[in-house]
Structure 1
Amino acid sequence: MTLSLLLNWRLHLAAVILSLIAEAIGIIKIPLGPGTLLLLPLFYAFILGVLLNPHLFSATRRVMPEAVSHAAGPIILLSIMPFIARFGSTIGPAIEQIISAGPALILQELGNLGTMLIALPVAVLVLKMGRESIGATYSIAREPNIAIISDRYGLRGPEGVGVMGVYVVGTMFGTLWFALMAGYLASLDFFDPRALAMACGVGSGSMVAACSGALAGAVPAMKDDLLAFAGASNLLTYATGLYISLFIALPVAEWLYRRLRGPAREQSTVGAVDEHALAADSETDDRPEQQLGRTAIVLAVVCAVAWITNTINGASLVAAAPGMIILYVMSMLGLLITRAAPFYLPGVAWVSLVSILLTLPWFPGSGWMVEQLKAVNFLAIVTPVLAYAGLALTRREFTMFRQTGWKLVIIALLVFTGTYIGSAIVAQLLL
């Protein structure tokens, strides 16, 4: 994708306007039973982005051409980088607390098995689904999990239909669902907020952003601690999540499916995904660290978008300038290491590690950096991420969402719920 398209003024101006509107609306609290449902600015930014998406309404193509909307896809990852850096900057100062909670952070990863323990029996016994239930329920179906299913079964088989269906639902609604769950459960005062924060580390940047942001809004007095625990948990997920999915979750899902349905291979009950839908928008851009010159320019633009958005509920442009520059530098350092490292670890993981290192109490100048970063509102720099995400949804994702059926929508929400609550329960017991 060309640099001129990634820098298209319509895309970034739309992200700024949608984010400012969302931030101006603020947090809305809705009483719901014994708890409270929190609607955050990121929720409105996503919805507004979807409404402006040219693949949903043809009338919006005059304002947002399809090619410009397509460019929003790779920008989502870059817009997450400053948030990840801000995230990591909360871990460094709280390193002693995190070390003391070490066993809980590590073992809560096993709570992710709650995905299948809740969703798989419902899929097989209640909704009468076939083998697509394996792909749909063994994980939260983010990119590494799709790679596992693609390698093992192929994406056009029933298992592939299942994992792609949950992926599409997660892309469209996962961030919102995690934000709503986290905020609501925090309002119940049943779970330790730190346990809920650990459960946020699910391996998806936008999901952990929404989840931890909702917790920070629900329990503002513990904001820094909660962000630190969520960031540490997410970092561990990058290190261990793929192996837990491959060597534990998928074999358990196969075993449980055979016990529930029988050993015979079942046919898919939701229909095959349209091959043209799979082929559409198949272009994949190089990872950000492969084109550092281009990345540096685009990252500067998305940091400027976050900087402007921060003026509503954060600090003025002048006060927040040093903090945003620090986040930009941290992000670029992380991407430089990603490219130079002898082994592959996602760029967001390296960015997180860099920001943790630079804000450790014994690192020179860490106190000054932490002080400058206080002017950057955590929730404010997440809002543009969701605006870009709404604008980036492709025709393929809208098509697949219609084709995968209502059953996979139900299963996807059960998967997200089981993952989050399962991890929170394990963390709660260990704490």
Structure 2
Amino acid sequence: MPLSALLNWRLHALVAAVALLSEFIGIQRLPLGPGTLLLLPLFYAFILGVLLNPHVTRTAGRVVPLSVSDAAGPLTLLAIMPFIARFGSTIGPAIEDLIDAGPALILQELGNLGTMLIAMPLAVVVFKMGREAIGATYSIAREPNIAVISDKYGLKGPEGIGVMGTYVVGTMFGTLWFALMAGYLTSLEIFDPRALAMACGVGSGSMVAACSAAIAGTLPELKEELLAFSGASNLMTYATGLYLSLFVALPIAEKLYSLLAGKRQAKAVGAQVSMPTEEAPSSAPEEERPERNLPKTAMAMAAACAVAWVANTVNGSDLITALPGMLILYVMTMLGLIITRFAPFYLPGVAWVSLVSIVMTLPWFPGNAWLIDQLSAVNFLAIVTPVLAYAGLALTRRELGMFRKAGWKLVIIALLVFTGTFLASALIADLLL
């Protein structure tokens, strides 16, 4: 795509406005039975992006040019890179805690593979879903998992539709689901409560908080111990989750899908979703990969970081205070993409960006204390809000058709994904304890 399209001022201005509005609304807590439904700015940004998408409504098409939607696709991948850098920067300072966490915390992370063991067979065999089942079931579909799918397949294909579907369901209902599930299982006294606490460490802050609070509320006499286990597990998930998803869960999901669907069914599904015959569903996304044209990427990344910088002013810090932190994230991101371009072996850009940020924030890295202090001014979740606005604007009619075709199924699949993750993690931790 031409640089002029990636620097489309209407797109970036619209995303900045949507992100600011979403951040101003903030987190809304809606009581629902014994739990609370959390609505996050990320969710509002995605919905507003969809409503403003000229491919979705005729009203939006009168004021938002199609070029804005076309340019939003590549920007989705670029805009999530600074978040990946911020994500990695939380791991480096806690490296000693991760080392001390012990084998139970490490091995229970394999329970995350339970996402697909329950949900994938139902998705493929019962619901006859195509490759969207891979994106929907390989993880709990939080931001780093979206980044993996975006980098490997792009968000324009069925895998992207699947992961975004699970993400939206998780954003709306995931917190409540984990809270209700954790509290109920604790009351049954089947698992060691410490194992259930470790199973709460799924990587999403709101899910972890609701899950651990439900367990601690059931057993108040063990509150401090249970919260400590939950926090350590969450830290381990941040450290290993991206790589477990990339190198273990996603390849297993590919093989399990092939086994369940078979070659003929896979081809039939590909025809149903109108994939071009010359493009295999698992091929790289059509848009140019960011590391292939670094000068163009550097300018587009600067625009994406500027939008995130503005969005951060509501629930983060003011522009002057957050400027050094955003510049650090920009440098980390570009260093990761430069390594991606010239490394003798291939790793996705998200992996290299994460590794760069981890190394630069390790306790023994020169100046790490200053780096961490500057990054603290950048709100962890605020810089993701624009990403979801880009994603909502980037949807095309073809993608919306795919989502409508499998939408109600994705709700059921997503809830099974969350259940499989929690139960598998709890079971492994319980056996080790």
TM over 0.5: yes
> Which residue among 152, 166, 170 is the counterpart of 2:163?
170
1:328 has 2:325 as partner: no
- Partner residue of 2:312? 310
* 2-structure distance, mates of 1:425, 1:181: 21
- Partner residue of 1:136? 133
CA spacing shift, 1:292–1:395, aligned 2, 3 Å: same
Segments of structure 2 that go 5 or more residues without pairing to the other structure are 139-145, 184-194, 214-226
1:79 has 2:79 as partner: yes
- Partner residue of 1:205? none
- Partner residue of 2:199? 195
* 1-structure distance, mates of 2:108, 2:340: 27
1:92–1:358: 8 Å Cα contact kept in structure 2? Answer: yes
> Which residue among 245, 261, 281 is the counterpart of 1:237?
245
SS of alignment partner, residue 37 of structure 2: strand
SS of alignment partner, residue 36 of structure 2: strand
* 2-structure distance, mates of 1:380, 1:217: 20
Can you list the C-alpha shifts for 1:240-289, whole angstroms capped at 9, x where unaligned?
A: 23443355x447x53xx89xxxxxx8899999515378899x98222111
SS of alignment partner, residue 31 of structure 1: strand
SS of alignment partner, residue 304 of structure 1: helix
> Which residue among 286, 289, 292 is the counterpart of 2:288?
286
CA spacing shift, 1:364–1:270, aligned 2, 3 Å: closer
- Partner residue of 1:108? 109
SS of alignment partner, residue 55 of structure 1: coil
- Partner residue of 1:262? none
2:29–2:39: 8 Å Cα contact kept in structure 1? Answer: yes
Query: Could you tell me how far 1:97 is from its partner in structure 2?
Result: 2.0
> Which residue among 343, 348, 364 is the counterpart of 2:345?
343
> Which residue among 364, 367, 374 is the counterpart of 2:366?
364
Can you list the C-alpha shifts for 1:169-205, whole angstroms capped at 9, x where unaligned?
A: 433x3222233454325645647565333x34xxxxx
Matches within 5 A, 1:117-266: 117-118=118-119, 120-121=121-122, 124=125, 129=127, 132=129, 136=133, 140=137, 167-171=160-164, 173-184=165-176, 187=179, 190=183, 195-197=199-201, 199-200=202-203, 211-212=204-205, 215=208, 226=234, 229-246=237-254, 249-250=256-257, 254=260
Query: Could you tell me how far 1:317 is from its partner in structure 2?
Result: 0.5
2:108–2:429: 8 Å Cα contact kept in structure 1? Answer: no
CA RMSD, 1 decimal: 4.0
One-letter code of the match for 1:140? T
CA spacing shift, 1:67–1:99, aligned 2, 3 Å: same
* 2-structure distance, mates of 1:233, 1:73: 25
- Partner residue of 2:192? none
1:306–1:384: 8 Å Cα contact kept in structure 2? Answer: yes
1:395 has 2:397 as partner: yes
CA spacing shift, 1:278–1:110, aligned 2, 3 Å: farther
Query: Could you tell me how far 1:111 is from its partner in structure 2?
Result: 3.7
Over the matched positions of the two proteins, sequence identity in percent amounts to 45
1:195–1:427: 8 Å Cα contact kept in structure 2? Answer: no
- Partner residue of 2:36? 36
CA spacing shift, 1:245–1:375, aligned 2, 3 Å: same
Query: Could you tell me how far 1:120 is from its partner in structure 2?
Result: 2.4
1:19–1:309: 8 Å Cα contact kept in structure 2? Answer: yes
One-letter code of the match for 1:100? D
Query: Could you tell me how far 1:383 is from its partner in structure 2?
Result: 0.7
SS of alignment partner, residue 36 of structure 1: strand
- Partner residue of 1:91? 91
1:182–1:196: 8 Å Cα contact kept in structure 2? Answer: no
Query: Could you tell me how far 1:67 is from its partner in structure 2?
Result: 2.1
CA spacing shift, 1:244–1:18, aligned 2, 3 Å: same
- Partner residue of 2:190? none
Segments of structure 1 that go 5 or more residues without pairing to the other structure are 151-163, 201-210, 259-264
The worse-fitting range, judged by mean Cα deviation, of 3-12 and 230-239 is 230-239
* 2-structure distance, mates of 1:144, 1:420: 18
- Partner residue of 1:261? none
CA spacing shift, 1:34–1:166, aligned 2, 3 Å: farther
* 1-structure distance, mates of 2:411, 2:269: 13
- Partner residue of 1:55? 55
Aligned length: 391
One-letter code of the match for 1:273? Q
The worse-fitting range, judged by mean Cα deviation, of 381-390 and 26-35 is 26-35
1:144–1:242: 8 Å Cα contact kept in structure 2? Answer: no
Query: Could you tell me how far 1:411 is from its partner in structure 2?
Result: 5.1
